[in-house]
Amino acid sequence: MEKLKPYHTFGLDVSADGISFLEKTEDCISFLRHRNPKLLLGCGSDVLFTENFSGQIGIMRTAGVDICEDQECYHVRASAGEIWHKLVASLTYQGIAGLENLALIPGTCGAAPVQNIGAYGREFSDFCEYVEAVDASGSVVRFAPAECAFGYRFSRFKGEWRDRLVITAIGLRLPKRWKPVLDYGPLRSLQTVSDLKPVDLLEHIVEIRRARIPDPAVLGNAGSFFQNPVVDEPCCQRLREEFPDVPAFSLGNGSFKVPAGWLIDRAGLKGFRYHNAGVYDKQALILVNYGGAEPADLMELARHVAGCVYDRFGVRLHPEVRIFGKTGEISLD
Ligand SMILES: Cc1cc2nc3c(=O)[nH]c(=O)nc-3n(C[C@H](O)[C@H](O)[C@H](O)COP(=O)(O)OP(=O)(O)OC[C@H]3O[C@@H](n4cnc5c(N)ncnc54)[C@H](O)[C@@H]3O)c2cc1C
């Protein structure tokens, strides 16, 4: 058995039958041909293990970034094992702008398309030119963004293509004409800053995130534990009548997104603790390992949170974090 603690950000004492490091495309193909159960990880920053994993873990370690340009855009190709934030910071400091809102999101470049990472009004799909992947036959396929079916924390890599492909590289298209996106609450103060530079925005976002989101190296977590639920109009109206301050955002198709953190907070759970796991006291959407938490503590806590929110608001929460049991992905229920 090999310890998984260094390879996922919840910092739980779990192990796997074996761990291999995937450094080149051939390693990815061999991994896909390995018997099940098996699980591919980047930095393990979006996963919760509920017990020891009875199979092989492959950890993406491929490296390399290439940049070319035409008159209008930079085209960046990054290997799947590159660290996302390192790429964002390095590009921004080189004067290649666009990705600032997605700064400090933990994880690898190869995992970024899987749940279409997003923050502060921007998503991976806003910049995606292509995603390259291999299958078990060894074929390399290049997918255009439309083929990936990107949605809110979703793509086909998380849906029907799950477990069948290893993403080996991403291609990004970054227009040379920089248009900062500053609509999200905490960024609005920058709207009046004259001569705002991409580096200023990057540093502002890093500062906000450091103040609000626990550093997994200090307090184990996997970022937002739940997705923001999308509700229909009658449900939204009912919530607004009962809770006039509910922050519901219209998605323009008769449905509304409600911040899960607000629901958890208003259910009185911010700071709630269950054994050594808890709801983070500065951001109710994040569940944390205060040190020595058992996987069962986090599962119980997550179920309790989802249950309390349902009882209070009649709204179901669904995990954003991917949950893995002994032989593969499982649901929270
Ligand atoms: C403190 C903190 C803050 C966070 N903030 C945000 C945020 O603001 N926005 C956001 O969207 N997310 C956020 N997250 C979640 C996480 O950072 C992202 O989901 C990230 O993309 C996960 O990358 P990873 O390499 O750690 O993937 P892992 O957790 O290792 O894997 C996640 C899933 O992707 C699959 N996968 C990984 N690599 C590949 C590959 N190369 N090919 C195919 N499948 C693959 C895995 O099998 C697994 O199912 C946060 C997490 C933490 C800990």
Catalytic annotation on 250? no
Of the residues 196, 212, 228, the one at which a domain ends: 212
Q: Are residues 132 and 206 in the same domain?
A: yes
Do 47 and 72 belong to one domain? no
Beta bridge partners of 150: none
The answer to whether residues 51 and 70 belong to one domain is no
45 lines ligand 1 (CB under 6 A): yes
Q: Which residue, by CA, sits nearest to atom 17 of ligand 1?
A: 106
Domain extent, residue 254, equals: 220-330
Protein residue whose Cα sits closest to atom 37 of ligand 1 = 111
Of 212, 235, 263, the residue that ends a domain is 212
Q: Is 23 one of the annotated active-site residues of the chain?
A: no
Same domain, 15 and 55: yes
Return the CATH number at 27: 3.30.43.10
Annotated catalytic residue: which of 132, 153, 155, 322?
Answer: 153
Judgement on whether residues 296 and 326 belong to the same structural domain of the protein? yes
Both 174 and 263 in one domain: the answer is: no
Instruction: Kindly report the CATH number assigned to the domain that includes residue 92.
Output: 3.30.465.10
pLDDT tens-digit map of 162-209: 999 999 999 999 999 999 999 988 899 999 999 999 999 999 999 999
Q: Look at the pTM and tell me if it is higher than 0.75.
A: yes
Question: Which numbered atom of ligand 1 lies nearest the CA of 153?
Answer: 11
Q: Which residues pair with 22 in a beta bridge?
A: 60
Same domain, 168 and 246: no
Domain boundary among 194, 212, 230: 212
Residues 105 and 198 in one domain: yes
Q: State whether 272 and 257 are in the same domain.
A: yes
Are residues 73 and 195 located together in one domain of the fold? yes
Q: Do residues 240 and 248 touch, judged by C-beta distance below 8 A?
A: yes
Catalytic position from the list 79, 125, 224, 322: 224
**pLDDT tens series, the chain, 333 aa:** 999 999 999 999 999 999 999 999 999 999 999 999 999 999 999 999 999 999 999 999 999 999 999 999 999 999 999 999 999 999 999 999 999 999 999 999 999 999 999 999 999 999 999 999 999 999 999 999 999 999 999 999 999 999 999 999 999 999 999 999 999 888 999 999 999 999 999 999 999 999 999 999 999 999 999 999 999 999 999 999 999 999 999 999 999 999 999 999 999 999 999 999 999 999 999 999 999 999 999 999 999 999 999 999 999 999 999 999 999 999 998
pLDDT reported for residue 185:
85
Cβ burial of 85 (10 Å; 0-12, 13-18, 19+) is middle
Same domain, 319 and 226: yes
Q: Are residues 12 and 69 in the same domain?
A: no
Angle at 97 between CA 93 and CA 101, to 5 degrees: 100
Q: How far is the CA of 193 from the centre of ligand 1 (A)?
A: 33
Q: Would the CB of 79 count as within 6 Å of ligand 1?
A: no
The set of residues, in sequence order, having a beta carbon less than 8 Å from that of 262 and lying 6+ positions away, is 246, 247, 284
Structurally, the chain folds into a number of domains equal to 3
Among 4, 12, 24, 45, the mutation site with the greatest number of ligand 1 atoms within 8 A of its Cβ is 45
What atom of ligand 1 comes closest to residue 123's alpha carbon?
11
Q: Candidates 4, 8, 19, 46: which one to mutate for ligand 1, based on the most atoms within 8 Å of Cβ? A: 46
Centre of ligand 1 to C-alpha 45, Å, is 5
To the query of whether residue 320 is one of the catalytic residues in this protein, the response is: yes
CATH number at residue 283: 3.90.78.10
